[in-house]
Amino acid sequence: MTEAGLLKKALHSVVAGQVNAAADPYRPGWHLAPPVGLLNDPNGFIQHNGRFHLFYQWNPLACAHGAKFWGHWSSADLLHWQHEPLALVPSEEFETHGCYSGSAVTDNGQLTLIYTGNVKYPDGSRTAFQCLARENTEGQFDKTGPVLSLPAGYTGHVRDPKVWRHENHWYMVLGAQDLNLQGKVLLLRSDNLLAWDLLGEMAGSGLHGLGEFGYMWECPDLFRLGDNDILICCPQGLAAESDRYLNTFQSGYFVGQLDYDNATLEHGEFTELDLGFEFYAPQTTQTDDGRRLLIGWMGIPDSDEFFQPTIQNGWLHTMTCPRELTMVAGKIMQKPARELQQLRRDEQAWQGTADDCPHLDMTKAETEIITEHAFSADLGGDMTLSFDGEWLRLTRKNRRTGLPEHRVWRGALHKLTVLSDASSLEIFINDGEAVMSSRYFPALPAQLTVRGSHQIALRHWSLAECVIE
């Protein structure tokens, strides 16, 4: 279909569905969500000319995966966001089945997008093109077209370019699947963003002593943090263990040192970025003041996602809050971006035995729980959070099967920060030592009820709504 035809269909879908979507009681007050339809991966996260831009995978036509568009928001402060014109529409032959994920850079002052054009054929095969689009004077994006076709030795699963500048060259990491159906991350180099040289397999299943580690690595991101190079990626095909890899697909990171000349990353073990029920495809950017920020998709690409109740009102999924990343003792720490503190209202403080704790409104709130002892918390009647002195356990009923399911963290606990929105929870453990992110659908207004026989201290704020203006 032509770009004009797709734009007409998208506009009709938004106009027809936005009233119901906006009136949904589970609509977030301070998380980003699509106007209608399905949202997934964050793309092109960048601070350009002092303003933050966040693009996103979007199917405006249905709450289903399909030929993805790129939606576009921008913000001056990470709090108040505005809709920008649709950035990419899958209208060309090199992107017939979607403008898949990618990144953004500033090239000679011009905001430039690098993304995957996804093409599927009637016989079930597929290919992928890495494509370029540049912002014009009207704030829209003109497509240059493919700058890299499918490299030899890989299946059609090659996607999600993340591009950055290092010394005098542009570099790209690409998620890939080799012909032995093993996940890899490729490293490429360019002088001009138009012609790319494949330098080699930087990391992946079977490399650097890792052993078999998944059949596809999606959404790679490579950046410097402290004295280390960090590779974020999403390996698909890891077998679940008792206390890790519990989601259908994983998101995590390796800490190492990138050898640019030899295209290798010597790294340590894989660490999950988030231990909650819904988290995938994170992307980072460096801010003008030197911070490394991360935003993820609060979703997982599996069948359970289509049992979320917001589908009844024509929309599906949200982003996480923006998070600041730092390195402490070789491990990434994640904290809510400091800008979010500006949303705090009506501070309450309480201390005493957990059983005596007052009920708190957590519909849109931030709650600090200070304790080293066992306790349990009912989260809006939809989920429970409990600590037994060794294991922190987040529990809910699976929306598809109705059976209990759990996510866990093990360690010495001293502080929890619970960021809650109308249908999401982000639980930061020990100032960001670990995080649990999940969608939830409580009885509204949602109440937090804490129980236990030990002492506990709480600080609680309601959070102002702020997202789209």
DSSP string, 106-127: EETTEEEEEEEEEEE-TTS-EE
By 3-state DSSP, what share of the chain in percent is helix, strand and coil, each rounded to 5?
10, 55, 40
- What pLDDT was estimated at residue 265? 97
For each of the domains in the chain, give its residue range(s) and CATH number, in order of start: 3-328 (2.115.10.20), 338-463 (2.60.120.560)
Q: List all residues 6 or more positions away from 19 whose beta carbon is below 8 Å from its beta carbon.
A: none
Quick one: which H or E segment has residue 233? strand 228-236
- What pLDDT was estimated at residue 303? 85
355 assigned to active site: no
- What pLDDT was estimated at residue 315? 98
pLDDT at residue 469 above 80?
no
In order of 52, 163, 232, 237, 280, the CA distances from 250 in angstroms are 27, 22, 11, 9, 7
* Segment 353-368, tens digit of pLDDT: 999 999 999 999 999 9
End-to-end CA distance of the chain: 32
Cβ-based burial of 122 (10 A; exposed 0-12, middle 13-18, buried ≥19)? exposed
Distance between CA atoms of residues 410 and 129, nearest Å: 42
Share of the chain above pLDDT 90, in %: 98
Q: Residues 145-156: what's their mean pLDDT? A: 97
Distance between CA atoms of residues 177 and 175, nearest Å: 7
Distance between CA atoms of residues 271 and 387, nearest Å: 22
CB 129, CB 116: distance < 8 Å: yes
Q: Residues 82-102: what's their mean pLDDT? A: 97
pLDDT at residue 268 above 80?
yes
Pick the catalytic residue from 24, 41, 259, 304. Answer: 41
pLDDT class of 397 with cuts at 50, 70, 90: very high
pLDDT at residue 251 above 90?
yes
The tokens describing 359, both together, are 């009920």
Distance between CA atoms of residues 366 and 321, nearest Å: 12
* Segment 109-147, tens digit of pLDDT: 999 999 999 999 999 999 999 999 999 999 999 999 999
